[in-house]
Amino acid sequence: MKTVLVTGASGFIGFHLSRLLCKNYTVVGIDNINSYYAASLKEDRLNLLKLENSENFFFKKVDLCNRKSLKRLFESYKFDYVINLAAQAGVRYSLENPDAYIQSNIIGFHNLLDTLKERKVEHFIYASSSSVYGMNNKNIFNRHDSTDAPVSLYAATKKSNEIIAHSYAHLYDIPTTGLRFFTVYGPWGRPDMAYFSFTKKILNEETINVFGDGSSLRDYTYISDVTNCIKNIIVKPPINNFKYSESNAKFQIYNIGNNRPVKLINFINTLEDIIGKNANLKFIENQKGDVPLTFADIDDTIGEFDYDPRVSINEGLLSFYKWYKEYYNVSI
């Protein structure tokens, strides 16, 4: 059985991906379990992973910024695949604490890649973000579009990841794939995400601040659609370069979205219907760093990996709310 390293394993996507991969691989998950949001949620994810997969899931508390810990990890295991989902997330938080993004998303990312250059792995996969498209004026974001104008530090760090990853793929022949995620949501999600905080505020009859007029569009992508796609990508490392045919670097980037953007106000209305309560809305100015639209062109992802995002926003939010009620003992 091959071995996969999943960084950020106690995080939202890392938890769900590890859970899926344990069916076919030995999974080693690492995380620094930082305090960006409640560590108890991360611990509960890990406890469930360990309970369900006691024979083929192993967790190590490792911070990517600690090179010595990384080196010891790679001396203890031989990884066939490495999937980097560890990052400081959140566009708005990058305005408050930019240092966290430089440490985790730049220094930590570089440390991992620099460790990999001395070891042969079959495929290195890492999380990028739809945020890299910045103020792109196109209605649908194609993976070949320009990403030279990020509008948040978070987006800039993700763009930097893509550039650093390309250089290491070129220099050290590391087959590398970047994944631009489009607003991933679902059970066990991050409390800082809109759908999570909206749910809490609707239940508590608190005011929801709506940035802009509610017409912004997001390509909400359900977690199982994302993880099933990554599972297919793992075994298909790139053999050429997605943008430069003259390059020998085995380097690809793909969009992972739902291809069906939803207006923010419609998103809130769907939550209201599912919960059975009306939201108290307050419309305020747009937040710096936000973009008005995310809409993924996923034709290449569909064609190369049989990607089939099938979960509608109604189904996805209903699944999330069922989990939320059980996890937080909500009686409504």
Catalytic residues: 154
Separation between Cα atoms, residue 175 and residue 251, nearest integer Å: 6
C-alpha pair distances (Å), 117 with each of 59, 110, 122: 23, 11, 12
Separation between Cα atoms, residue 80 and residue 122, nearest integer Å: 6
C-alpha pair distances (Å), 282 with each of 161, 194, 214, 285: 36, 14, 10, 10
- Is residue 147 a contact partner of residue 162, using CB atoms and an 8 Å limit? yes
Among 40, 315, 11, which Cα is nearest to 181's?
11
Long-range contacts of 298-303 (CB under 8 A, 24+ apart): 298/254, 298/255, 298/256, 298/257, 298/259, 300/143, 300/254, 300/255, 301/229, 301/254, 301/255, 301/256
Residue 214 carries which side chain, given as an amino acid letter? G
Q: Report helix, strand or coil for 209.
A: strand
Helices within the chain (DSSP H only)? 12-21, 39-52, 67-76, 93-96, 98-101, 109-116, 153-172, 194-203, 223-234, 264-275, 299-305, 313-327
Among 158, 62, 153, which Cα is nearest to 112's?
62
